[in-house]
Amino acid sequence: MSVVRISLAIGCLLALSPAVRGQALLLAHWPFDDPAGAGVFETVQGGTETVMGVDARIPGPFGNALQCDGSSTYFDTAVNQTPWNYLTSFTVACWLQPAPGQTIWVPIVDQHNASQSLGLFVGLSSSNGSHLAVGNGVTWQPLYGPSVAAGMWTHCTFVFDAAAVTGELKCYLNGVPVLTTNIPGGPMLDPRGSIQMRIGARVDNAGFLNAGIDDLAIYDGALTLTTILDIMANGAQPVFPEYQTNSWQASFTVDGVQGGQQAAATVTVPVGMQATLGFSSFNVGQPWDLGSGIAPLVPTSAGALLSSDGQIVNLDVTDPTLSTWFNFMQGPNWGPLLALSIPFSIPSAASISAQMIVASPALPSGVALSQPVRLIVQ
């Protein structure tokens, strides 16, 4: 099938329009509204983190909050940081209720090695002083802000912006910019290959946060004051998603791998090794298809197209290799079987992007889209 025909068909079915670009993506978000002992749910990628030590909850500004006990409570986040773009700018925002008498540096978020000028530290210095530091591989660059009041909820926002004219570290307390420190420009030295991101304790467990914490969010850019005030008033809100996710109407996986709104499913399979395509839908009797091509997936920030009901087409509709398995919605129809598995293997190295489409009379666009999957055979 020609690219022209595919593009026209997709355009007619989905009433596509350019996606909105966001200024800064929400990379990770923990609302801490789970019951004590159940771990903590991370909303962007959809995983539950295991809390080490005492897992207790207290009332927070938005629902529940995690109470870090100062001696044992922390969690190592399992969110996939591979696609994160946070090395030249990021923002960490949360509500904090510190206990009095903090005498050592303790983190809210820690992923650093100061001796190597590597990574980031966001938290409190002695006497509950607001503290942010990053390493650029040459120097360890700190900001020492005013103290966060003990026993009271304070909204704390920490901003790193190496893209500013001179480079900046900023601290906002309750929406007020309280300190800005100029630093050398350039990105921080990437900690992801060697240091796990830890919440509530130093990575070497030499210090534990003694505070309540709520609505913790990490963004990949330097948020504006207007956005910070909105987060303070309304809680951290996801920006427009980058990728479509699976639904009960259209679910597609390779080897069961699920992606999220900000990180697409990516599956690597050895050449010649058997893998499994998984399909499911409750749209019994409706036609469906699978589009695939060799071009990389397109996120919304790079111009992905949207359906009239907000679903994201993450395939590149201009890709000359784009094709469909079943002649684009001309069959087969989805039968009474709600799940289908197809084993396959590819005998040579390849990179393939794929996304499923199922007719859905209940949706304004007339179709339901699955998550996109990037398959790499090597």
- 348 pLDDT exceeds 80? yes
Predicted confidence band at 378 (pLDDT cuts at 50, 70, 90)?
very high
Predicted confidence band at 363 (pLDDT cuts at 50, 70, 90)?
confident
Spatial distance between the Cα atoms of 99 and 216, rounded to a whole number of angstroms: 18
- 310 pLDDT exceeds 50? yes
Task: State residue 8's pLDDT score.
Answer: 32
Residues 166-212: tens digit of each pLDDT: 789 999 999 999 999 999 888 999 999 899 999 999 999 999 999 99
Percent of the chain with pLDDT over 70: 92
Residues 100-146: tens digit of each pLDDT: 877 788 999 999 999 999 999 999 998 899 999 999 999 999 999 99
Task: State residue 45's pLDDT score.
Answer: 85
Predicted confidence band at 14 (pLDDT cuts at 50, 70, 90)?
very low
Tell which wins on pLDDT, 309 or 72.
72
- 9 pLDDT exceeds 80? no
Whole-number mean pLDDT of the chain?
Answer: 88
Partners of residue 292 on adjacent β-strands: 323, 354
Neighbouring CB atoms inside 10 A of 208's CB total 20
H/E run at residue 230 = helix 225-234
Spatial distance between the Cα atoms of 43 and 246, rounded to a whole number of angstroms: 15
Question: Could you please report the per-residue DSSP string of 262-277?
Answer: SS-EEEEE-TT--EEE
Tell which wins on pLDDT, 301 or 6.
301
Residues 83-97: tens digit of each pLDDT: 898 999 999 999 999
Predicted confidence band at 22 (pLDDT cuts at 50, 70, 90)?
very low
Task: State residue 102's pLDDT score.
Answer: 77
- 337 pLDDT exceeds 80? no
Residues 317-329: tens digit of each pLDDT: 899 999 888 766 6
Please give the radius of gyration of the chain, using alpha carbons only, rounded to the nearest integer. 23
For 242-377, CATH number out of 2.20.130.20, 3.30.565.10, 3.30.1180.20, 2.60.40.420 equals 2.20.130.20
Task: State residue 327's pLDDT score.
Answer: 65
Distances (CA, A) of 323 to 112, 319, 345: 46, 9, 19
Determine contact, residues 263/83, Cβ cutoff 8 Å.
yes
**Among residues 238, 254, 202, 300, which one has the least CA distance to residue 42?**
238
H/E run at residue 216 = strand 210-219
Range 279-286 average pLDDT: 90
Spatial distance between the Cα atoms of 342 and 324, rounded to a whole number of angstroms: 16
Range 351-370 average pLDDT: 91
CATH number of 26-234: 2.60.120.200
- 154 pLDDT exceeds 90? yes
**Domain definitions of the chain by residue range:** 26-234, 242-377
**Among residues 341, 346, 339, 292, which one has the least CA distance to residue 315?**
292
Task: State residue 256's pLDDT score.
Answer: 93
Tell which wins on pLDDT, 17 or 254.
254
Determine contact, residues 168/156, Cβ cutoff 8 Å.
no
Task: State residue 325's pLDDT score.
Answer: 84
